[in-house]
Amino acid sequence: MPIGNLTSQLFGNIYMNEFDQFVKHKLRVKNYCRYTDDFIIVSSEKEYLEELIPRIEAFLGERLHLKLHPAKVSIRKMGQGVDFLGYVQFLNHRLLRVKTRRRIFRKFNNQILKYQQGIISREKLNSSLQSYLGVFGHADTFSIEQELLNLLPI
């Protein structure tokens, strides 16, 4: 099933429901968040988090035939930020991930080029802009917003 397809997301959530139940009820994790196949667990106890990793790995392998991505498993202090779903979340603020910013600017510059070549309308260009501004609205991105707006042709 294609990635990004709404039914893929739905079936992914149905499939991962068993994992949600395991984490919340069996492991009794209080601060857990999952979106599709990405999840975070927050705790002030490093040892507790270290103990959870093998239990989660075992459950995912045995019950769902899934593996944790080794590069995505980390225990960090909140002051370092938690990289999740295109943002880096800190205790009191959220930043746009650098990779997400680059991808948005690359795609928007491509849209501008298409507009200048007459391939897409100004309405389509503005629609793309509004979509990106919506992404920015979830983080501290005032200067990035201004930079994107400055790219707009008059």
Q: Residue 9: which pLDDT band, with cuts at 50, 70 and 90? A: confident
The CA angle 119-125-130, to the nearest 5 degrees, is 160
Please give the DSSP secondary-structure letter assigned to residue 24: I
> Is the pLDDT reported for residue 37 higher than 80?
yes
Indicate the SS3 state at residue 43. Answer: coil
| pTM score of the predicted model | 0.75
Kindly report each contact of residues 60-65 with a partner whose C-beta sits within 8 Å and lies 24 or more positions away, as own/partner.
60/19, 63/18, 63/19, 63/22, 64/15, 64/16, 64/18, 64/19
Please give the DSSP secondary-structure letter assigned to residue 86: T
Nearest-angstrom CA–CA distance, 131 and 126: 9
Q: Residue 4: which pLDDT band, with cuts at 50, 70 and 90? A: low
Token digits for 59?
């459950």
